[in-house]
Structure 1
Amino acid sequence: MHDRVVIITGARSGIGKAAALRFATEGYTVVMACRNMEVSKKVQDEIIATSKNENVDLMELDVSSFKSIDHFCDKFKKRYEKLDILIHNAAYVEHGAKHRLSIDGIELTFATNVVGPYLMTHLLLNHLKKSDDARIFHAGSNIIKHFFDPKKKIEFETLQGENKDPKFSVYNMYRQSKIAFMMLTFKMADEFKNEGIKVNALQINGAKLSKETLNKFTLRWRIIGRIQSIFLRPTEYMANNYYDICTSDKFKETTGKLFNDKLEMMETATGETLGFIGEIKQVVGTSVYPAYADDKITKEKVWDFCDRWTEKYTS
């Protein structure tokens, strides 16, 4: 696998770090796309030593910044002839934090989790086309289960400019970003199908949080996170799912799908009236996702929002 190249964003900790180690151990050329270079350099050295693979590259990337993404992609394309696997793992998830804008003027959660990956994918598209088995992977979240509630929608009017909602919540924005990211998965799969590029996602139902991530949370959310981590699987479990979805021959022709942690393809909810018990089973289960993710009008709005904001860099 020494001739196959994989980019993993947010590869310095958590599932991203575990995934980088798995791919490196299997002999892939791994590009760790990370924001904090000082911390990430130590992780890079650790992965090289553990995997005994020298082809672990570290490149600076802030997924919330269009300029940083453009610089990263330009540098990558000069350094590598092709790209085989693009893993969008990085995410902004500072629960309890106040409203913040990205440097480009978009709410930081949505900029990092949705618009940044959209831009990065488009800037690397020609390099992906050079691969004989190009795959794009989106790290999803079971937080999208909130959208089983038909009243929940993406609040497009809150995605840019200063916050005017006194009840603003990063948690609320995070779940909106993840359902939008799910919509991008389906839309990209359709857009890139004729290019032979596969686009899939994994619904992550939790993994042990790193101390670095927990320390970003406010005290209340930090306590909740620590308690939850006691019952969650190690990061290697989800990292192995990353690897299988991105490399297995079983999924070579699969695109536009959401997988659960057992690597079963999930289906859209029917929207039928299920009753109280049925609704509980739907929420706690892992076989279906909210029908809202398939809403054509909203998918187009998400795509158009990303396209409009990144036009300067993609045209």
Structure 2
Amino acid sequence: MMVSLCYIFLPIVVIIGLLRKCREHSWGRCKDTSDLQDRVFLVTGANSGIGKATVRELVRRRAKVIMACRDMDRARNCIAEIRKKISTGEMIPMELDLACLPSIYKFAQRVLRDFPEIHGLINNAGVYEPLKNRTLTKDGYDVHFAVNYLGHFFLTNLLLDKMKASVPSRIVVVTSKLMESGVIDFSNLNGEKGLTAKGRMNPAYCNSKLANVYFATELAKRLANTGVNVYMVCPGFTYTGLFRDVKRSWFHYIIFSPVALLFLRTAHQGAQTVLHCATDASLANESGLLYRDCKVYTSKKTLEPEVAEKLWKISATLTDLKYAK
């Protein structure tokens, strides 16, 4: 009986393994490994997942990395783990809570004071919470809108002059293919009128990722010919702690396992397109494009320039009003 089962399952395992290898090959890999000594990068959400993997590869190439993290203990543990294998580069942990506008402002002022140059800003941090939680920040914003989008909008604008003075420099905005399911409803930006889940997708998350795309598109337009390039990145379906608050039954995990084996990337694999856009010399003359699998990705979503402009103006008002003191 056991021998018969082996004859059945062994070929299945081999086939799945081969399919996995083919999938991994199609995901792309950052091929530029040039020395990044004297280059300064700022990575949000740097102590876990894609952010941690990005930091690891940047310091491997001798870059100086500002690790913007909400939890300093986790940031220090991350540095200790990386240092067990990599001795090059420099990692500077700094506290940043993207759910809190005062924290962002304070963080940005420290960066502007302590670092003469910033060559790369990687807006990576993100949250995903069950829609039923309806979590609001202290500033009164939906946590997805605040952390995934508005916080990064504010941070980027606070650091923009420094990045213009550090050219050539790059801004990488991490989004998601799920943005194709998002909508920008100016009468319900903060979800105050409620949101309806679409299948298993959280519309608040999808909307925030679409807002990131509109932000990056408008930012690239405003930064044209300044030497600061902007890139949008979909890292692919990656195994990180992003969905840790989503509860699933054991049955869901069993059903999901084959999908995970074929489509779920490691954090290192998910970081490849981020690294490609942040460092690859071949992209020096490109800006405002969306990348996936280390190549340009053509989204099914049609972007409207007037929406990008309006979202920018509203976001500027939402952040500026907090500091019109």
| TM-score between the two structures when normalised by the length of structure 2 | 0.80
Q: Quick one: which amino acid aligns to residue 70 of structure 1?
A: Y
What residue in structure 2 maps to residue 77 of structure 1?
Answer: 112
Alpha-carbon contact 1:136-1:200 (below 8 Å) kept = yes
For residues 313 and 35 of structure 1, do their structure 2 counterparts lie closer, same or farther at Cα, with a shift above 3 Å needed? same
Q: Match for residue 255 of structure 1? A: 287
CA distance, structure 1, for counterparts of residue 204 and residue 211 of structure 2: 10
Report the more deviating stretch, 169-178 or 184-193.
169-178
For 2:69 and 2:38, the matched residues in 1 are separated by 22
The structure-2 alpha-carbon separation of the partners of 1:145 and 1:222, relative to structure 1 and needing over 3 Å to count, comes to farther
In the alignment, residue 186 of structure 2 is paired with which amino acid?
Answer: F
CA offsets 1:66-86 (integer angstroms, 9 cap, x no match): 111111111111211010000
The answer to whether the aligner puts 1:124 opposite 2:159 as a matched pair is yes
The 2-side partners of 1:220 and 1:144 are apart by 26
Q: Select 1:158's aligned residue among 184, 188, 192.
A: 188
The structure with the larger Rg is: 2
User: Which residue number in structure 2 is paired with residue 217 of structure 1?
Assistant: 246
1:109-148 map, 5 Å: 109-146=144-181
Ranges in structure 1 where 5+ consecutive residues have no aligned partner: 148-152, 268-287
2:72 to 37, 54, 68: 37
Deviation at 1:50, TM superposition (A): 2.1
Secondary structure of residue in 1 paired with 2:117: coil
Counterpart AA for 1:239: A
Which stretch has the larger CA shift, 294-303 or 217-226? Answer: 217-226
**Aligned: 1:237 with 2:269:** yes
Runs of 5+ consecutive residues of structure 2 not aligned to the other structure: 1-35
CA contact (8 A) 2:46 2:67 kept: yes
Instruction: Give the root-mean-square deviation of aligned CA atoms.
Output: 2.4
The change in CA–CA distance for 1:221 and 1:181 in structure 2 (over 3 A counts) is: farther
Match of 2:210 in 1: 179
One-letter amino acid of the counterpart of residue 217, structure 1: V
- For residues 4 and 90 of structure 1, the distance between their equivalents in structure 2, rounded to whole angstroms, comes to 21
Aligned equivalents of 2:239, 2:151: Cα separation in 1: 25
TM-superposed deviation, 1:154: 1.9
The residue identity in structure 2 corresponding to 1:165 is G
- Equivalent of 1:26, from 48, 52, 61? 61
1:270 match: none
Q: What secondary structure, in the 3-state scheme, does the structure 1 residue paired with 2:157 have?
A: helix
Identity %: 26
Instruction: Name the counterpart of 1:299.
Output: 308
Note if contact 1:48-1:56 (Cα within 8 Å) is conserved in structure 2. no
Q: 1:221 to 1:185 in 2, by over 3 A?
A: farther
Q: Say which SS state the counterpart of residue 65 (structure 2) adopts.
A: strand
C-alpha spacing 1:64/1:235, structure 2 compared with 1 (3 Å): same
